[in-house]
Amino acid sequence: MSQHEQALRRVSAVRGIRGVMLVSASDGLVVADVSMEDVDGRAVAALAASLCARLRRATTSAGLGVPGVVHLRGEEGVLLAVPAPNDMLVVAVADRGANVGLARLELLEAARVLG
Partner 1 sequence: MRVLESWVGAPLERFLDESAARLVLLMTTSGQVVAQHGFTRSVDVMSAAALGAAIMASTAELARIMGSPRFGVLVHQGAEQGMLLSGFDTPRGRWIGLVVFGPDTSVGLVQLFFQQFAEEIGAAAPPAEPHGPVLAENFEHDLNASLRALFGR
* Sheet of strand 77-84, all strands in order from the earlier edge strand to the far edge: 29-34, 17-24, 88-95, 77-84, 70-73
Q: State which residue, 14 or 25, has the beta carbon closest to partner 1.
A: 25
Question: Looking at residue 53, what DSSP letter applies?
Answer: H
Q: Which long-range contacts (CB under 8 A, 24 or more apart) does 73-79 make?
A: 77/18, 78/103, 79/44, 79/48
Instruction: With CB under 8 A as the rule, give the number of residues binding partner 1.
Output: 14
Judged on CB neighbours under 10 Å (0-12, 13-18, 19+), 80 is buried
27 binds partner 1 per the rule CB under 8 A: yes
Q: Judged by CB under 8 A, which of 6, 26, 69, 96 binds partner 1? A: 26
42 binds partner 1 per the rule CB under 8 A: yes
60 binds partner 1 per the rule CB under 8 A: no
Q: How far is the CB of 40 from partner 1 (least distance, A)?
A: 9
29 binds partner 1 per the rule CB under 8 A: yes
Q: How far is the CB of 20 from partner 1 (least distance, A)?
A: 17
Q: Which residues bind partner 1 (CB under 8 A)?
A: 23-24, 26-29, 42-43, 45-47, 49-50, 53
